[in-house]
A and B are shown apart, each in its own frame.
Chain A
Amino acid sequence: MKAIRIILQIAILYAFSLIGELVHNLLHLPVSGSIVGLILMLICLTFKIVPVKIVEDGASFLLSFLPLLFIPAMTGVMNYPALFSGNGLVLLLIVVLSTIVTMVAAGIASQLLEKNANKGKENDECNKHLSQS
């Protein structure tokens, strides 16, 4: 019974990603179909157009093995063996360095702004939220 429910719920999520794809094609949006689908789903959940109940099990199930879903795309690296020698290594280094810069900038900026936001407000309430997760 639970298996059927999960499959049906994934079908709903799939439908949203297809609708997102459709909207993307119709309006020539620069953002991909699945991201449009995510935003649509969030809007529908927020305004109770779609009750959380009819997607929560499917969503949790799908997200529980999210890394698996990247593997076929990742395996495509095998078509670029040159990347792991000579000039390729330089590109690799650039991307890794730039990723580190991105991470540090995003993390530090948001952490600083978070501290500002918490200042003066009830810190207890926020700590409660953090420790729950």
Chain B
Amino acid sequence: MQQASIAILIILLTVAVYIAMTKLYVRFSYPVLIPVLTTTVAIILLLLAFHVSYDQYMIGGKWINSLLGPAVVALAYPLYNQRKILVKYILPIIGGVFAGLFSGMISGLLFAEVFGIDRNLILSIVPKSITTPVAIQIATGIGGVPSMTVVFVMIAGFSGVILGPKIMKWVRIRSYLGKGIAFGSASHALGTSKAFEYGELTVSMSSVSMTLCAVLGSVFGPIVVWIFHV
């Protein structure tokens, strides 16, 4: 009984903070004020201030978390709406996804090698641009540390969402298709949630890229590691 009321309290708190932060973002619309980031920071600060552990927070948090599965399935809806455009632009989509997938995994390996990072941490960085559940599986498969991979996946998500719009402006990625594929390939589902600010075409491009990266990453992740680690 007490568990249930704690869970409800945590859910209400999370939703309330999220709504407040969304209002703040709509009001000022600076990229750093993106609600996922501000809400996460606010909740971590609250938990630290009241000495609540992450496990205790997850008594309620797991219920919100459990909606992620159906939400990923729900991405089939914008994909279905845009199916004609997806078929028409199948080549740019596949080309963009492959470019993103390989440059992401290889640049992660190379940068980590340059900075002299431990081997198991390097392997945890490889699947960072792939959606969390799949990234965990890839990390486990290639000998990385799954819990570190989760953190790297989040950082890839945040940095893409926050820096993405500026960087795309600099390198002149102007088309909605290019933006969507960039968000989905680099920043998985978090990038896809950002893509909603650009309209349905960008959302579908982002979710199709995210899906393709998950499927292709599972296949090519181990191969890339094998090639660069002989």
Contacts and interface: CB of A to CB of B under 8 A. Distances in A.
Interface of A: 10, 13-14, 16-18, 20-21, 30-35, 37-39, 41-42, 45-46, 52, 55-56, 58-60, 62-63, 65-80, 83, 90-92, 94-114, 116-117, 129-130, 132-133
A107 B173 contact: yes
B177 interface: yes
Contacts of A66: 71, 189, 192-193, 196
A31 B214 contact: yes
B155 A102 contact: no
Interface string B4-25: 0000000000110010000000
A102 B103 CA distance: 6
Interface residues of B, number: 113
27 contacts: A13-B70, A13-B73, A17-B69, A35-B134, A35-B211, A59-B76, A63-B75, A66-B196, A69-B68, A73-B154, A75-B43, A75-B44, A75-B54, A75-B61, A80-B148, A80-B151, A91-B121, A95-B156, A98-B156, A99-B156, A102-B100, A104-B171, A106-B103, A110-B175, A111-B175, A111-B177, A117-B91
Nearest to A61: B74
B108 A110 contact: no
Interface string B27-70: 00000001110011001100110000010011001101101111
A32 B100 contact: no
B184 to A, nearest CB: 8
Nearest to A39: B211
Contact of B103 (A17, A35, A101): A101
A73 B177 contact: no
Contacts of B128: 95, 98-99
Contacts of A94: 108, 111-112, 115, 117, 125
A107 B193 contact: no
A71 B177 contact: no
B186 A103 contact: yes
Given A30-B219, A32-B133, A67-B35, A106 B189 contact: no
Question: Which among B64, B101, B163, B183 has the greatest number of chain A C-beta atoms within 10 A?
Answer: B64
Given A16-B70, A32-B137, A66-B193, A95 B176 contact: no
Nearest to A60: B77
B14 A38 contact: no
Which of A21, A55, A78 gathers the greatest number of chain B CB atoms within 10 Å? Answer: A78
A8 B198 CA distance: 29
3 closest pairs, A vs B, by CB?
Answer: A110-B96, A106-B100, A72-B61
Contact of A70 (B68, B98, B167, B201): B68
Most buried by B among A59, A74, A78, A97: A74
